[in-house]
């Protein structure tokens, strides 16, 4: 018996006739030895018949029931055990009328629940070993859970192929995306694949425990690395962009992100246009990111739409971009011509000597 399992908590096995009792307590001692008085002398020898007594004729530790447990251990089969109590370091379990013990570390993959949460519950266990002349049976639920997990993984991997749509649960989130459990097998939804809209933080879209539907994008390293997408399952607004938006129209938008060359403005989830820096109408030297902060709502005009390249050019409402794109080009030409005429006049005047 290992040092960590040789404490008093593992001593004194539960007798058969108490192991099945629903009201059994964690602290159970062996059956008392019969005492026979013969005058002044007291006989204290153990009586074999008392030790072999048990429920429905089942023998005590070392009897038929232990042999069944030993056979399960040798064949790698699981046994069912009912938790009846706990002590320092683990849980007291009854398997077919035989007292057994499952250490805390062998109850769950991670941190075990409070001991009282397991009491009166029946679980599947693997038998680790039988010690001290059949007196101590050591169990592991983790080993059984691991076997179940492998079987589940094999079944899940049979369903995973590129373009497959699966349901999973978010198990953790990172700056770069979310890990989703598909059934014993995990895949990654990169932050760029969480939604069609621009996502700044993973937690803005999903949280651990969320059930999500994903599409398999790619399998790498023999299927061990799985790339998933939630974005691919959302409707694509670019397919209807030409029928929903017209050049020259004014629409509501929200600033998503500001770059050196302009601001991306969301018109609807998954559909954004670019408001160039030259169209921001801000004083020279002013930082665009201070004026057009992410989240700011504003009205913009559609300057041009290129559905094939998925590009929309925008201008601020009232900046002169009205009507069709040809109207806008004419407006720009007129502005250039006016500017050129003024410059020519200024150049001529500069040549006049006072």
All residues at 6 or more sequence positions from 110 whose CB lies less than 8 Å from its CB, including other chains: none
Tell me which of 1.10.10.10, 3.30.300.30, 3.40.50.2000, 2.40.50.140 is the CATH number of domain 237-327. 2.40.50.140
pLDDT one-digit tens code per residue, 185-221: 899 999 999 998 888 899 999 999 999 999 999 988 7
Whole-number pLDDT of residue 202: 96
* For the chain, domain boundaries: 3-147, 158-233, 237-327
Whole-number pLDDT of residue 6: 39
Rounded Cα distance between 50 and 38, Å, is 20
pLDDT one-digit tens code per residue, 163-180: 999 999 999 999 999 999
Whole-number pLDDT of residue 343: 53
All residues at 6 or more sequence positions from 275 whose CB lies less than 8 Å from its CB, including other chains: 262, 263, 264, 265, 292, 300, 314, 315, 316
> What percentage of the chain carries pLDDT values higher than 90?
43
Of residues 43 and 301, more confidence is placed in: 301
Q: What is the mean pLDDT of residues 19-39?
A: 37
Is pLDDT at 3 greater than 50 in this prediction? no
Whole-number pLDDT of residue 347: 55
Of residues 332 and 132, more confidence is placed in: 132
296: tokens are 């700011």
Is pLDDT at 115 greater than 80 in this prediction? yes
Q: What is the mean pLDDT of residues 66-78?
A: 92
Give the number of other CB atoms < 10 A from CB of residue 22. 7
Question: What stretches of the chain show up as alpha helix (H) in DSSP?
Answer: 16-19, 48-52, 64-75, 141-157, 241-244, 288-291, 325-351
Least confident segment among 56-65, 131-140, 271-280, 311-320: 56-65
Least confident segment among 187-191, 213-217, 242-246, 318-322: 318-322
Is pLDDT at 229 greater than 90 in this prediction? yes
Is pLDDT at 47 greater than 50 in this prediction? no
Of residues 95 and 25, more confidence is placed in: 95
Topology of 3-147 in CATH? OB fold (Dihydrolipoamide Acetyltransferase, E2P) (2.40.50)
Please state the separation of Cα 106 from the chain's center in Å. 23
Is pLDDT at 301 greater than 70 in this prediction? yes
All residues at 6 or more sequence positions from 126 whose CB lies less than 8 Å from its CB, including other chains: 73, 76, 78, 79, 139, 140, 141, 143, 144, 147
CATH superfamily of 158-233: Nucleic acid-binding proteins (2.40.50.140)
Rounded Cα distance between 65 and 58, Å, is 7
Reduce the DSSP state of residue 144 to 3 states and report it.
helix
């Amino acid at each position: 018996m290992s040092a960590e399992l040789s404490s008093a908590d593992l001593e004194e096995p539960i007798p058969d006739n108490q192991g099945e009792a629903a009201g059994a307590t964690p602290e159970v001692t062996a059956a008392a030895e019969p005492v026979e008085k013969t005058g002044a002398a007291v006989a204290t020898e153990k009586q074999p018949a008392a030790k072999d007594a048990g429920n429905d004729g089942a023998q005590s530790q070392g009897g038929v029931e232990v042999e069944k447990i030993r056979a399960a251990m040798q064949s790698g089969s699981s046994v069912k055990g009912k938790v009846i109590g706990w002590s320092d370091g683990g849980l007291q379990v009854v398997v077919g009328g035989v007292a057994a013990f499952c250490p805390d570390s062998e109850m769950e993959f991670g941190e075990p629940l409070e001991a009282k949460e397991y009491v009166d519950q029946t679980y599947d266990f693997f038998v680790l070993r039988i010690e001290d002349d059949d007196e101590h049976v050591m169990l592991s639920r983790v080993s059984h859970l691991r076997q179940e997990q492998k079987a589940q993984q094999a079944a899940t991997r049979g369903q995973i192929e590129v373009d497959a749509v699966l349901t999973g649960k978010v198990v953790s989130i990172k700056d770069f995306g979310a890990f989703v459990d598909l059934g014993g097998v995990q895949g990654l939804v990169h932050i760029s694949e969480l939604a069609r809209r621009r996502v700044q933080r993973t937690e803005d879209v999903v949280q651990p425990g969320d059930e999500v539907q994903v599409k398999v994008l790619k399998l790498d390293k023999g299927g061990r690395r799985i790339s998933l997408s939630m974005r691919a399952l959302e409707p694509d607004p670019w397919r209807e962009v030409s029928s929903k938006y017209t050049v020259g129209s004014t629409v509501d938008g929200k600033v998503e992100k500001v770059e050196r060359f302009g601001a991306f403005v969301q018109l609807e989830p998954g559909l954004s246009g670019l408001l160039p820096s030259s169209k921001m109408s801000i004083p020279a030297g002013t930082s665009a990111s201070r004026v057009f902060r992410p989240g700011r709502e504003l009205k913009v005009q559609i300057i041009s739409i290129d559905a094939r390249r998925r590009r929309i050019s925008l201008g601020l409402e009232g900046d002169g971009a009205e009507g069709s794109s040809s109207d806008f080009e004419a407006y720009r030409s007129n502005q250039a011509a006016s500017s050129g005429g003024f410059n020519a006049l200024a150049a001529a005047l500069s040549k006049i000597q006072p």
